[in-house]
Structure 1
């Protein structure tokens, strides 16, 4: 089968399409999926560049990127109960990647049926970014437990995770402020953002409002610069792992006198491949309450161009097709 791989770290020129052995037959509760498409995430870019040293523990080079996929089930293990051959599914793989190949084996607990109302290739843009946004807002930010009108600030709002977060927060009745370059403000308003902030013109630490949830969807904002923007029971959520002791120490230096940083919820979302959460996202798409924000689609052979596009100022997601 064909698979996208890089044999060394570097710029997009290191990517190549190789002929490789196909996966083994599915066992237990596994699905064998013929992949229609896979999206490009920030992790793919970082692994290709060599920015993430954990790649050494995820598998030796050459490495096949790709963490989310959509396609058709062509075989099932004997323990599969939720899917059958011919089902259109989307799934989130583990840390070993490998989704940007023509066939992939994945456990059924990591998969869900694709939304009925979108093409299979479009559904490939849902799993990683959609799950991260959903779990950050609800599992970490507890937005679903807050009253309607709760205020949410999304940093990096125009990217894949941010584009989902704006919509999901609006669906929960929040007032959403999105932070992105001015050229992307129309995109954010189209997704439902109530307010937009130009990150190049405005220092977010100077914003006058207070927020129930601040989501750093880009994973680049220093927490010391935004902790004071939270209401007393607010939550500060990052998409990147962080040292809570270090963050709380930084926050304590910025909080008003007498306010204990321990009362400020600071956390990082650890995206989990939950079938029920993927099914929830699919239902929102089918109900017309969530749009899949695909910015561009490229064939597998144009993966280098796709990575170059993804490293520029995108609006949402970039997808690679394998059909």
Structure 2
């Protein structure tokens, strides 16, 4: 079968090659991939890819063509969305059944492929935030780096939970869409955000994090879930004396869970099927355009999610 493999070449980080078809383990279903999503974080990973037989690809949607030998998971013929640990940019992928959710008729595979990584991140960020605050209703939230796939999901889910969210995006066009999804305010620089905020969801790092941190309310929480600027953060303790009182900074990883992703994937699928969550498809292309799509993501040329269809 054909699959994209890492090249370790900065000019073209992936190449379409022939590889062996997967041999599923007892707890894995074989999925014929119809669409997959490419995330900006994966472009960074491809700069220093793991060794061994690793291949990229964590967000897939398609058709089960071989059920798991142990009897778990969906039967043959089921349309599914999955979040395998890797290997998904291919014609076929073996996915642990705990990492799958079945798709209803009203949700297409293109839309579903945009859900896993970005949707799981948004869902779990807000769940973590709610544990800190007790609830989201009425809470003031600042979201940096809001124009990507995670930012769109966060905005829509936070607004649905009753939060008052300020989104930061450099683009007026993208800001307009975030307003449609429920952002109470849109600003183009973190410095323009008017606090104090109960929560800061920070994904850019660099100079933005200290500015966002200074806008926290007393005992507020900053969840740091990315560093899209590729710049390290420097914090000055004495500057904080004129900022928030007893602020908490917490590093967040969407993978910090004790159960498989299937249940949360099913939640995202249900919300999307009900029209309560809208995958933001910045581009939909044939999978042969994966190298160009990776370059566009690195260059911030794509708003929302990038989905590739496999023919």
TM bracket (short chain): 0.7 to 0.9
Residue of 51, 56, 59 corresponding to 1:59: 51
Counterpart in 1 of 2:238?
Answer: 253
Q: 1:192 aligns with which of 176, 182, 189?
A: 182
Aligned to 2:74: 83
3-state SS, counterpart of residue 214 of structure 2: helix
Show the 5 A alignment for 1:132-151.
Answer: 132-140=121-129, 142=131, 145-151=134-140
Change (3 A) 1:289 1:218: farther
Are 1:318 and 2:306 an aligned pair? yes
Match of 1:34 among 13, 32, 41: 32
In the alignment, the residues of structure 2 paired with residue 105 and residue 165 of structure 1 have an alpha-carbon distance, to the nearest angstrom, of: 29
Larger proportion of helix: 1
Distance 1:71 1:147, change over 3 A: closer
Give the alignment partner of residue 112 of structure 2, picking from 103, 119, 123.
123
Q: Which residue of 2 aligns with 1:9?
A: 9
**Matched residues in 1 for 2:204 and 2:91: separation?**
30
The 1:106/1:147 distance shift into structure 2, 3 A limit, reads closer
Alignment of 1:298 onto 2:298: no
TM-score, scaled relative to structure 1 = 0.84
- List, as ranges, runs of 4+ consecutive aligned residues in structure 1 with deviation greater than 6 Å: none
1:147 & 1:129 partners in 2: Cα distance?
20
Matches within 5 A, 1:222-241: 222-240=208-226
Kept after mapping to 1: 8 A contact 2:136/2:161: no
1:306 to 1:187, Cα distance in 2 relative to 1, 3 A = same
- 1:85–1:144 distance in 2 versus 1, CA, 3 Å: farther
* Aligned partner of residue 232 in structure 1, secondary structure: strand
1:270 matches 2:254: yes
Question: SS at the partner of 2:17?
Answer: strand
Alignment of 1:99-114 (within 5 A): 99-114=88-103
Task: Tell me if structure 2 keeps the 8 A contact 1:140–1:269.
Answer: no
1:260, distance to aligned residue in structure 2 (A): 5.7
Contact 2:137 2:163 in 1 (8 A): yes
Which structure 2 residue ranges, 5 or more long, are not aligned? none
CA distance in 2 between partners of 1:111 and 1:217 (Å): 27
Which whole-Å CA distance do the structure 2 matches of 1:79 and 1:195 have between them? Answer: 50
Check whether the contact 1:141–1:236 (CA below 8 A) recurs between aligned residues: no
CA separation in 2, counterparts of 1:175 and 1:259? 19
TM-score by length of 2: 0.87
What is the count of residue pairs matched by the alignment?
A: 302
Moved more, 291-300 or 206-215: 206-215
- Conservation of the 8 A alpha-carbon contact between 2:217 and 2:245: no
Q: What is the distance in 2 between the residues matched to 1:79 and 1:116?
A: 26
**Is the 1:3–1:19 Cα contact (8 Å) retained in structure 2?**
yes
